[in-house]
């Protein structure tokens, strides 16, 4: 069975993710403050290709 989430890639992305306050500040600068998750996804994609299901592996806001 193929894993649904690439745990290693998601872990790498989470390690690179800036703190929440930096995400919110940067989102404010780019007028994305209505949804900081957009910026979170952009940062996640800097690590490389992700499958559609990978963000569900830990990139969502709790």
What is the rounded (10 degree) CA torsion for 12, 14, 18, 23? 130
Q: Does pLDDT of 62 surpass 60?
A: no
20 CB-near residues (< 8 Å, 6+ apart): 36
pLDDT of residue 32: 53
| Tens digits of residue pLDDT in 1-59 | 566 678 888 888 889 889 999 988 887 777 755 677 777 888 888 877 877 777 666 65
| Tens digits of residue pLDDT in 22-37 | 988 887 777 755 677 7
pLDDT of residue 54: 75
């Amino acid at each position: 069975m193929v894993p649904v989430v690439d745990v290693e890639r998601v872990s790498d992305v989470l390690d690179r993710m800036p703190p929440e306050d930096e995400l919110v500040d940067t989102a404010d600068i780019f007028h994305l403050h209505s949804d900081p998750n957009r910026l979170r996804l952009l940062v996640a994609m800097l690590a490389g290709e992700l499958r559609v299901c990978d963000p569900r592996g830990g990139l969502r806001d709790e």
